[in-house]
Chain A
């Protein structure tokens, strides 16, 4: 069955373009309102990535930058969950990319000069493709909080960045995952740019003792939700009216 267009995006649920407490948004937020447009084939389609596009260690950040026989430093964690749409349907076969700081809060990036040291065995880049049931999983280390220039004593909560593709470009999403219990969540202007506590809560991963492997690695659970499909009027409904 051909799929219909995507449901409208609830812009009030997302952070506004301009959130002055997040200083970088001041000069980068468009000042004109977004112009609503109908979805065309361009927006309803998107690239498809196969498993052959990825390397065998792409979903294991503990090992994918480590020299032979070694592993990244820091608390070992599994991050897993499901990629769903707003209708709670699995979104299979989609590329999920993640990036993060190391356990000391330092990114392996030419522009990051934070004084915490790099970890020779940690790159901070991971990728996987969602399964038939929308499930995804990768192994990494718990990232550290770090300070950032925002005009004050600003520290990011520990977080992992997620980039997610859907069936169509209209579903394309970049977001961040936080960890339950982190006191920096309430203090961070990037997190607090999200208008409601309810919405913020969707980005907070939960400790998952069911998936935690004894004497090995803890697990955190994080589901990602993409836009759903617009409501469809079925023929049998029309007959009844």
Chain B
């Protein structure tokens, strides 16, 4: 390698200014539209929340989701709500492909997170047996599987503690 990757730094508590300016409180003024909120046809709801090691909900995280298959490509980003901590996504449910169970990539940055965290969300009503990535998580695989709700799915991410979510070195 001729060069080294630029070292990561925390996104800090004001990440919204750059990535979700209306959440920060900016008026649109001379700026282009905020990115990452497009809702595809046939979307289902995925509610994500993030908890810290003290069991407090993280209210200043930025979360991005990504899925890529022949059927769907969809990227979206949401902030965890500044008051409630809920990040509500609307995305199409991914499909199984190339030997993998349906899944979403989830990427989390926030104050106190020095290098963006990559995890996955799988679905409880799919055949996840044999998924090569989920299998790597062993007994902690359940930390990667969402729950069914009336509106769609919900998933809780724990940054620390006995229920700590599996994060990947991709």
Question: Which A residues contact B (CB, under 8 angstroms)?
Answer: 6-11, 13-17, 19, 22, 24-32, 34-43, 45-47, 49, 53-55, 57-58, 63-66, 84-88, 95, 97-100, 107-112, 123-127, 161, 163, 169-170, 172-176, 190-191, 193-194, 199-200, 202-203, 224-228
- Whether B5 pairs with A225 at a CB distance below 8 angstroms is yes
A100 to B18, CA, bound (A): 8
Residues of A within 8 A of B93 (CB): none
Residues of B within 8 A of A87 (CB): 1-3
- Whether A173 pairs with B17 at a CB distance below 8 angstroms is no
**Which residues in window 4-23 of B have CB below 8 A to A?**
4-19, 21
Of A17, A39, A174, A191, chain B has the most CB atoms within 10 Å of the CB of: A174
- Whether A22 pairs with B5 at a CB distance below 8 angstroms is no
- Interface contacts (Cβ under 8 Å), in number, total 267
Question: Which B residues contact A (CB, under 8 angstroms)?
Answer: 1-19, 21, 24-27, 29-33, 35, 52-54, 56, 58, 60, 64, 66-69, 73, 75, 82, 97-98, 100, 103, 105, 107, 109-118, 132-133, 136-137, 140, 159-161, 164-170
- Whether A43 pairs with B30 at a CB distance below 8 angstroms is no
A194 CB to closest chain B CB (Å) equals 5
A103 CB to closest chain B CB (Å) equals 15
- Whether B31 pairs with A65 at a CB distance below 8 angstroms is yes
A182 to B167, CA, bound (A): 35
- Whether B82 pairs with A110 at a CB distance below 8 angstroms is yes
B64 CB to closest chain A CB (Å) equals 8
- Whether A13 pairs with B2 at a CB distance below 8 angstroms is no
Given the known A-B contacts A35-B168, A35-B169, A41-B69, are A49 and B35 also in contact in the complex, defined by CB atoms under 8 Å? yes
A45 to B69, CA, bound (A): 10
Contact of B9 among A11, A16, A32, A190 (CB under 8 A): A190
Residues of B within 8 A of A42 (CB): 66-68, 100, 103, 105
A99 CB to closest chain B CB (Å) equals 3
